[in-house]
């Protein structure tokens, strides 16, 4: 599906062992995930996800949540260098925020687009640049999975069963095949995985 520019669409997200994005308490119920987000393996994984990316594609909720957190990390000289590297990249890179409600971009170097994720990705693929990273925006990732428009998945699998909550891989997605290209287990049992779409 990639166009001649060769831009890949990549997606990063953390999931519980039972495939949940969060616990049964809703999007704020991150107890089964949050303790694994700052491990050595998770931080190395964070370094990996943006290394080749020049555009961040975000849903509104994540764009606003990230704005409240990552710029402070970018400015914090005592922050872990991997966290700070990602934070600086996110602040400085091109950001496209998908939203039907925002009237202006919540970040510098960002633009708001009210259009389907697949249309936006097609436009971005046609332009020059590095990878297009969809970072922890489940609704955007799900729309692109449904259209078979993701080339690489970065998954952090957290070794807990949430027992409820939204799943990333819902029924109705097209059948696709993926090749593991990286796997690393951490001390708490978390596993960082990278899968490339086999086309």
Domain ranges in the chain are 9-198
Q: Report the length, in residues, of the chain.
A: 199
Q: What span, in angstroms and rounded, lies between the C-alpha atoms of 169 and 46?
A: 22
Q: What span, in angstroms and rounded, lies between the C-alpha atoms of 96 and 121?
A: 10
Residue 52 has pLDDT above 80, yes or no: yes
What's the pLDDT at 104?
A: 87
Residue 2 has pLDDT above 80, yes or no: no
From the DSSP assignment, how many helices (H) and strands (E) are in the chain?
Answer: 6, 8
Asked if 149 and 132 touch (Cβ cutoff 8 Å), the reply is no
- The 8-class DSSP code of residue 190 comes to -
Of the pLDDT bands very low, low, confident and very high (cuts 50, 70, 90), residue 4 is very low
Lowest mean pLDDT across 46-50, 59-63, 72-76, 192-196: 59-63
Closest CA to 112 of 123, 100, 125, 121: 100
Residue 70 has pLDDT above 70, yes or no: yes
Question: Per-residue pLDDT averaged across 15-32, rounded?
Answer: 94
Among the four given CATH numbers 3.40.50.720, 3.40.430.10, 3.60.20.40, 3.30.465.10, the one describing domain 9-198 = 3.40.430.10
What residues pair up with 16 in beta bridges, in sequence order? 158
Interval 99-134: pLDDT, tens: 999 988 878 899 999 999 999 999 999 999 999 999
Between residues 104 and 2, which one has the greater pLDDT? 104
What's the pLDDT at 5?
A: 58
Mean residue pLDDT of the chain comes to: 93
Rounded alpha-carbon distances, angstroms, from residue 193 to 26, 79, 81, 155, 186: 25, 24, 21, 5, 11
């Amino acid at each position: 599906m990639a166009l001649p520019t060769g831009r890949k669409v990549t997606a990063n997200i953390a999931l519980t062992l039972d495939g949940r994005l969060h616990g049964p308490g809703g999007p704020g119920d991150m107890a089964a995930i949050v303790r694994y987000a700052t491990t050595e393996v998770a931080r190395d994984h964070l370094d990996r996800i943006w290394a080749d990316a020049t555009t961040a594609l975000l849903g509104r909720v994540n764009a606003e949540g990230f704005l409240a957190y990552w710029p402070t990390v970018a400015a914090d000289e005592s922050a872990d260098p991997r966290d700070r590297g990602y934070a600086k990249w996110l602040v400085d890179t091109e950001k496209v925020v998908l939203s039907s409600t925002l009237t202006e971009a919540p970040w510098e170097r960002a633009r708001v687009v009210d259009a389907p994720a697949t249309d936006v990705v097609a436009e971005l693929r046609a332009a020059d640049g590095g990878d297009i990273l969809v970072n922890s925006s489940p609704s955007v990732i799900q729309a692109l999975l449904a259209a078979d428009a993701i080339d690489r998945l970065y998954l952090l699998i957290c070794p807990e069963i949430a027992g409820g909550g939204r799943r990333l891989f819902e029924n109705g997605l097209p059948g696709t095949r993926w090749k593991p290209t990286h796997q690393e287990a951490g001390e708490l049992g978390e596993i960082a995985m990278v899968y490339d779409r086999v086309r």
